[in-house]
Amino acid sequence: MSAARRRDARLQLTLQRRVRAWAPPRAELRSWASAALGRRAAGGELGVCVVGPRESRRLNARFRGRDRPTNVLSFPAAAMPVTSGTRPLGELVVCPRVLRAEARAQAKTLRAHWAHLIVHGTLHLVGYDHARAAQAARMERREIRVLRTLGFANPYRSVP
């Protein structure tokens, strides 16, 4: 396989920052999302948008009926034919202020919590959910396994 073809097979990640807050480098976000996707990462395209609490709250209220900011929102791409060689997966909207407060409250490093939420949000884009107990258990097992391969601890064990 040629180098150009190998490059095209990788997950493409676009990072948009709407607030001045620390966020991991794009390469790290791509690595975490790719690990969550496994083979599905090849040829995929993912957007990550970093927003403030006001925008997070507005989106959470509009799309989930919850009038408060949240850590991560997942917006799957509509099923579209692949025309450009990439397959749109969707967009993650992350609120660093909420994420930072949660990491502190859960005694986690900021980087570990970012990794967890990127993995979590990415899994939502490919059909994982936690609305019912069986779905939640399946999703948590996948998150734990992916995060372990990335060198992070079980995010659910460390929650007080």
Domain boundaries, the chain: 3-149
The predicted structure's pLDDT at residue 157: 85
Partners of 80 in beta bridges: none
Phi, psi of 158 (to 5 degrees): -85, 0
Whether residue 158 has pLDDT greater than 80: no
Q: 77-133 pLDDT, tens per residue?
A: 986 566 667 899 999 999 999 999 999 999 999 999 999 999 999 999 999 999 999
Residues 6+ away with beta carbon under 8 Å from 47: 13, 14, 15, 16, 90, 91, 92
The predicted structure's pLDDT at residue 2: 37
The burial class, CB within 10 Å (0-12 / 13-18 / 19+), for 38 is exposed
Whether residue 8 has pLDDT greater than 80: no
Residue 86 tokens, joined: 């990439």
The packing angle between helices 110-125 and 133-149, to 10°, is 130
Question: From CA 11, how far away is CA 39, in angstroms rounded?
Answer: 10
Superfamily of domain 3-149: Metalloproteases ("zincins"), catalytic domain (3.40.390.30)
